[in-house]
Amino acid sequence: MRIGIDLGGTKISGVVLDDAGAVQTHLKRPSPRGDYGATLNAIRDLADELAGPDRPDMALGIGIPGTVSKRTGLVKNANSTWLIGKPLDRDIESLTGRKVRVANDADCFTLSEATDGAGQGYRSVFGVILGTGVGGGLSVGGALISGPNGIAGEWGHNPLPWTDPITDPRFACYCGKSGCIETFLSGPALSAHHAHDAGEEIEAELIAAGDLPGRTASLARYADRLARALAHVINLFDPDAIVLGGGLSQIKELYKSVPARWGRYVFSDSVETPLLQNRHGSDSGVRGAAWLWPAAASGK
């Protein structure tokens, strides 16, 4: 048994996962915003509720919208900015008395889908989050690839490749740069580009329906941008499978239109890479947080 917690911007989700991957308990709570101390307390309270009084030493895996610096041990690159510069794992260990591992939420998603999700059985998996933000993670042989800087798979903060200055306007990114993949492929980015191109301010979910000409055109541009961005990944890493997650992964058309487009950008005579929809939906990230602990180290 192990606990997984997914620390999102609006909610905290937690599970108890057994060694076979079955969810024993699943809880969700509102996520404190802008308050680090309240966030720590919310994680502690949720972990205690999930474990119950009989399992005070159950290990805890946490997925966050950022990562922990290997140099300082402090959170960096988090769009939940109140976490930046904080020793989150150490503070949670001190507060709960539990063993704690912290990883990027896209890494947790990737680990979940590679372990017992859509990527199960593939040697190498690139997992993609297309939601409020855009992230990525790499798994080889069922293990996450982190890298010496702890940023392997940080796909959303590279520039969108093969851009056209007219059809691909560059918008500012929270990271301080402009033209990042996240500013083209996140849910808010889809809405912003549609407003720029069609003059209609609506949510990404309505654009995804594609039931009006302007929305259909925006969705086609989105698919081409996603194809270019994923072609870059294939050229660099050539994963055995790519798995999409996040709210925009529910757009069924992407699984046909993106592979139909990416061949012109991939440096190969053919592209055999499958583009897969996640198996565990919105629960994949929290499941991956639990999988940060192998059975032998998870506690009982």
Q: Per-residue pLDDT tens for 145-190?
A: 988 988 899 899 999 999 999 999 999 998 899 999 999 999 999 9
Residue 29 tokens read as 């709570």
The residue type at 198: A
Give every CB contact of residue 235 below 8 A, 6+ residues apart in sequence: 265, 266, 267
Q: What is the mean pLDDT of the chain?
A: 93
Task: State yes or no: pLDDT of 298 exceeds 70.
Answer: no
pLDDT exceeding 90 applies to what percent of the chain? 79
Q: Per-residue pLDDT tens for 125-141?
A: 999 999 988 999 999 99
Count up the domains in the chain and report the number: 2
Q: Using 50, 70 and 90 to split pLDDT, how confident is the model at 299?
A: low
| Residue 142 included in any domain | yes
Residue 273 vs residues 125, 238, 260, 264: alpha-carbon distances, Å: 10, 8, 12, 14
Question: How many other β-carbons are positioned within 10 Å of the β-carbon of residue 267?
Answer: 8
Considering the domain architecture, whether residues 265 and 233 belong to the same structural domain is answered as yes
- Indicate which CATH number applies to the domain containing 259: 3.30.420.40
User: Hey, which residues does 195 pair with through a beta bridge?
Assistant: none
Question: How far apart are the C-alpha atoms of 216 and 83, rounded to whole Å?
Answer: 38
| Residue 112 included in any domain | no
Considering the domain architecture, whether residues 100 and 7 belong to the same structural domain is answered as yes
Angle at 179 between CA 173 and CA 182, to 5 degrees: 60
Asked if 123 and 135 count as a contact pair (C-beta separation under 8 A), the reply is no
The pLDDT score that the predictor gives to residue 296 is 44
Considering the domain architecture, whether residues 287 and 247 belong to the same structural domain is answered as no
Considering the domain architecture, whether residues 125 and 273 belong to the same structural domain is answered as yes
The pLDDT score that the predictor gives to residue 295 is 62
Question: How far apart are the C-alpha atoms of 112 and 209, rounded to whole Å?
Answer: 28
Task: State yes or no: pLDDT of 99 exceeds 80.
Answer: yes
What sign does the dihedral 299-61-108-207 (CA atoms) show?
A: positive
User: Hey, which residues does 61 pair with through a beta bridge?
Assistant: 4, 101
Task: State yes or no: pLDDT of 11 exceeds 90.
Answer: no
Considering the domain architecture, whether residues 15 and 98 belong to the same structural domain is answered as yes
For residues 7-26, average pLDDT:
90
User: Hey, which residues does 28 pair with through a beta bridge?
Assistant: 13
Considering the domain architecture, whether residues 146 and 202 belong to the same structural domain is answered as yes
Considering the domain architecture, whether residues 244 and 290 belong to the same structural domain is answered as no
Range of the domain at 26: 2-107+283-297
SS3 label, residue 218: helix
Task: State yes or no: pLDDT of 267 exceeds 60.
Answer: yes
For the ranges 2-6, 20-24, 88-92, 158-162, which has the lowest average pLDDT?
20-24
